[in-house]
Structures are given as structure tokens and as C-alpha cells.
Chain A
Amino acid sequence: MAARTVWAAGRCSEQAGAVNRAVRRLPGLTQVRWSRYGPEFRDPLTDKGHCRKPAAELTEEEKYDQDLGKTQLIKAAPAAQTCSAFADPVISKSTNMMMKGGSKVLARSLMAQTLEAVERKQFEKYHAASAEEQATIERNPYTIFHQALKNCEPVIGLVPILKGGHFYQVPVPLSDRRRRFLAMKWMIKDCRENKPRRTLMPEKLSYELLEAFANKGPVIKRKHDMHKMAEANRALAHYRWW
């Protein structure tokens, strides 16, 4: 019975695939975003620990998933994806967003230099500080990066809704993905625009990251502005229909 109930959850993918295929065939609707992979393909698993578990430890759900995986087609892993412990999805996403014109090499080197700069600054601070302060100083650049972006994420966003011929900025709850995207976007944009001449991106970005980590700086200010506008337009919240 457990297997069958679990299968009901797993069925969603098949139904989604079936719905996808149904959408494809409906005469009025044409799929705009199509890919070389059909709907039956599933994403590859790069998690190394996935196949390390002995059979006894697997729960029924995982066993079912593993069996299902044998019959399903798998997409090829993208070039940037590895099972390395150093690969961080947040860092990869930010690198891609910083990339211009497809030059991944440059974007990756900039990101590496940024993290190095953050670490160097933190170490300088660490060595210059007293014993009590040394305990509070964070030196791992990855934690600083994650925390800084988390501090920059807005909680609520504004969406222009057309009503009666005018566009009103309506406060709307944002999904996790959208929040992470906005945080990264604001950070990168701010660093590109408000940079004094002759400063390089890693330097500026590391400075902004450290400021955001300490909950101050222009990106945090932008987040607070967004929150204030949402609060001011609170009366328009009922324009949202979803």
C-alpha cells in the first residue's frame, strides 16, 4: 500500500508529462519554450551520496525513485555542473548572472578574485583585532557571500497591475527564487553602476558584500526602500487576484 501511495506522488511527473503532451497537441496553444529534450527526460543527479547508500537504508520512496530512474531517460549534465564539494549553486548562479557575452571564463575569474578579496580583508581585520573581537569575525568567504545575499533579499515586492487605464504598483509576496534573483541582481547592478573610475569589479563587489553582511550599504537601502513603498501602497493590495 505504501508503495502505491508513494506512486501517486510520483505519478505527478507522468501526469505533468501527459499534460505537457496534451498541451502540445491542443490546436489553439503552441509551446513557445521548447527544448531538445522531451517531457519524459528528467534532470541528472550529481549528488555523490545518492548511490552510496546500501539497500537496507533506503526508504520505500527512495527505492521507488531508484527503480523509476532505471526506466526514465536522463538529460546530460550541463558543463558547469560537477559533484565536487567546492561547487556551490549560489556561487554558480551569481557567476552566470555576472557573465557578459558568454565569457564564463572572465566571470568565474572575477568571482574567484572577489571571494579572495573578501577573505583577505577579513583576515586583515582578524589580525588587527583583539581577542574578543576575533571570535565574532567571520572569515569563510562562502558564508559571508550567502549571508550577505540573504540579508539583501526583499520580503515583499511590487508588481505593476493595469487597472482602469493606469498602472498601479501593487505589493505582492515574492517566491524564494525571485527573492534570490533580485538580491543578486541588485548587488551586481549596484557594483557596476556606482563604481568610482579605475576600481575593478572584485574590489567593489567584495566591499559591497561585506557591507551587506553587516546589514548596511546601498543594496540593503534599496531593499528597505522597496519595503517602504510596499507598505505605502498597502491599500492597493486587493488589486492582486492570485
Chain B
Amino acid sequence: MAAPCVSCCRGLSYRLFLGLRVNFAQTQGYWQTLPVDAQTAPESQILRLIHTTVVTTKKNVSASGRDSYTEDFIKKQIEEFNIGKRHLANMMGEDPETFTQEDIDRAIAYLFPSGLFEKRARPIMKHPEQIFPKQRAIQWGEDGRPFHFLFYTGKQSYYSLMHDTYGKLLQLEKHNDPFPQKTESMNLIGSRWLIKEELEEMLVEKLSDQDYMQFIRLLEKLLTLQYGPAEEEFIQRFRRSVTIQSQKQLIEPLQYDEQGMAFSTSEGRRKSARAEAVVYERGSGKIRVNGIDYLQYFPITQDREQLMFPFHYLDRLGKHDVICTVSGGGRSAQGLLTSDPRVRERKKPGQEGARRKFTWKKR
């Protein structure tokens, strides 16, 4: 725009002060002052602002309304990332071919050490697909007609997915024979349905909770019917594997002491109590805590019952000896073995305790 006149600027700043997001490109087109007579006073200039609309070519904003990154831009970013990765590998003296993302993270943390508490504010170097959010290409052609037939629903990917799934369901119901043979069911135990966030990421669309639940219900209905390999492949797209919890717990191998007796050490904690226990293979059920016999250390029956619980469950009550050291916490916390994440709830402001509110007074 040519040298803006004073009044125009004042008008603009007034709008900015009101907190309205002004797209400068647009205002240039929309708001224009008519040429003012030089004889009139500067104050009356402001009052005489006459606005006229001028047709301008607007930016073609995509349906989501966010800044859209073009495909070329993303491709360029990916190329730059790959080149940068190789440079980084050379800098660190490693092989560029086998430089993984973890190596990149470590290298960046080494070269740009940052003491910022917010992890997301620290320097990162990741693949552009993880940094730039997934965009959707413009969904209509030059004539303005949308490509997808469900565009006007607002959530075209979701509804088209529902449409496909329901189509499959109807097909299976048609071919369903009343005496189905037992087909081997896929691994339902080791996998779970993808969560709402994952589905949103897959469809690049915002979904509501009800939409998500409806989709999962459809898939579950699909599972009750006899399906073939094509449908199985379709369903597997929406399943994610779940870690087997028992494999997560690392069982350390047995250690052997001088006499050749096997023993195993383990740690446990609850609240602020820390305990380390050594269980011996052969014994008569004696337990020593901090050098004191358990009968004297835990005078309360309930604590001793807690100690007995794991042995009693495995029917090995008098078969093992235990020597343990505990510190911190109270009598109840020191008796526990599995990690209990429950801690004392904090007191909140505006309340008397964690849950108790102040007495309500009418006035």
C-alpha cells in the first residue's frame, strides 16, 4: 500500500486496540478512505472516514482454516532434514547410513544443551511429518465442486469410513450361513481398539466421543459375524497391540551365596517407605526385619498377615527365609510388597482438607 494517510492508520490502530485479528492484506482492500480535501482540518478528517469495499482476490483458505503447508514445502523440509541428518552424523563421527532418531536426539542434546524445564521448548530435530501437523489437501476443484460425495457432512473421512464399514457389515450379513464353522479368531487379547486420538490422527478430522463410540460399536458388530481375510485386514487397521504386563516385570535371575543356597533380592516402596528383601530358597519361615525378628518388629497382626500373604498364596509358608531392611514410612506402608501408587491427597486452597469443604454459611 502507498504511504498510508494518518486517518487510515488511526482507524487501523483503533481496530487493533479492540483486539480484533486484522489481516492486513484484507484491510488494504476493504477499507479505503476517499481522497480528502486539503482545506478541511485534520480532526474532521477522522470523522469523515468513508469506507468503500473493493473486490480483491482472497487467499483460498482450506476447509480447516489453518495455515496450509504445500506439498512442495513439506518435501523440501524432508530433503533438508535428511541432508541435515547426514551432516549431523558426520559431525558426531558416526555412520550417516545407520543414524537413527535416538542418535539424533542425543546429538542435539549434546550440541545444544538446554536447561529449560519445558521439554517441548528445548531444541529438537525430528522428521517433518512429526512436526508439521497432517494437512488435508484442498477438497474441491477449480470450479468449486468438492471431490468427495460426503464433503457437505463436515466430517467426510469419518462418514465415508462408517459407510464402508456398514457396507461390509451388510455384505457379511447377507452371506452369513446359519451354521457357521469355527474360524480361528484373531488375537483379541493382545490388542485393543485404537483410541479416539489415534482415530482422529488417522482421519485428520476432529471427532466427538459419540462418533468414536459409534464406530467402535460397528466394528464390534462386525467381529461377531463370520469374516474373511479381507475384512480381517480391514479390522486389523484399527487394532493396536497391547503390552503383556507380566512380561514387563523383570524377574532377576537367582543369585547363589557361599553355601550354594539360592536367594533373590527385590525392592519395594509405598509412600515414603523403602524396603529391600532377600528371600532364601530353603528355610523354616523365619523373617528378620532390620535385624529384629518380625514378631517383635510388627506387633500388629495385620502387618504380619500382609507379610504372610504372598507365601500363603503360593502355599509356601514355612519354606523360605527372608531378611529385609526397611526405612521410612509407617507401620502399614512397611508391610506392603507390590507398588501402591496411592499417596496422601494434597490439601486444596479454598477447602479445609483434601475433600472436606469449609462450613457453608448462608450469610
Contact = CB atoms under 8 A, between A and B. Distances in A.
B188 A71 contact: no
B338 A77 contact: yes
B216 A18 contact: yes
A35 B340 CA distance: 12
Given A70-B244, A80-B302, A1 B180 contact: yes
B209 A79 contact: no
A83 interface: yes
A207 to B, nearest CB: 26
A83 B246 contact: no
B209 A71 contact: no
A77 B245 contact: no
A93 to B, nearest CB: 15
A1 B224 CA distance: 7
Contacts of A5: 224
Interface stretch (A6-14, A139-147, A211-219, A232-240): A6-14
Nearest to A5: B224
A239 B182 CA distance: 52
A26 interface: yes
B300 A83 contact: no
A67 B313 contact: no
B220 interface: yes
Interface residues of A, number: 38
Given A1-B182, A64-B189, A36 B209 contact: no
A103 to B, nearest CB: 11
Contacts, number: 87
Contact of A108 (B193, B242, B301): B301
Interface in A87-129: 104-105, 108
Interface string B35-78: 00000000000000000000000000000000000000000000
B342 A35 contact: yes
Interface stretch (B100-108, B285-293, B303-311): B303-311
A122 B244 CA distance: 53
A76 B338 contact: yes
A76 B182 CA distance: 38
A4 B185 contact: yes
B327 interface: no
A105 B300 contact: yes
Interface string B193-218: 10110000000000001000100100
Interface in B78-132: none
Given A5-B224, A36-B342, 14 more contacts: A8-B220, A14-B192, A15-B216, A18-B195, A19-B213, A22-B196, A22-B213, A36-B343, A76-B340, A76-B342, A77-B309, A79-B306, A79-B335, A82-B309
Nearest to B210: A22
A68 B189 contact: yes
Given A14-B192, A70-B245, A26 B185 contact: no
B312 A83 contact: yes
B169 interface: no
Contacts of B303: 79
A3 B187 CA distance: 11
Main secondary structure of the interface of B (DSSP, over half): mixed
B245 A4 contact: no
A84 B306 CA distance: 10
A104 B302 contact: yes
A194 interface: no
Main secondary structure of the interface of A (DSSP, over half): helix
A156 interface: no
A241 B313 CA distance: 47
Interface string B260-297: 00000000001000000000000000000000000000
Contacts of A21: 195
Contacts of A4: 185, 188, 223-224
A92 B119 CA distance: 47
Interface in A38-54: 46, 48
Nearest to B217: A15
A52 B308 CA distance: 19
Nearest to B187: A67
Interface in B228-265: 242-246
B339 interface: yes
B188 A79 contact: no
Query: Which A-B residue pairs are the 5 nearest by beta carbons?
Result: A76-B340, A22-B209, A76-B338, A67-B189, A36-B341
Contact of A71 (B189, B300, B306, B341): B189
9 contacts: A4-B223, A8-B220, A22-B213, A36-B343, A48-B313, A79-B335, A83-B309, A83-B313, A84-B312
A221 interface: no
B332 interface: yes
Given A73-B245, A82-B305, A83-B309, A8 B224 contact: yes
A126 to B, nearest CB: 28
A6 to B, nearest CB: 10
Contacts of A7: 188, 223
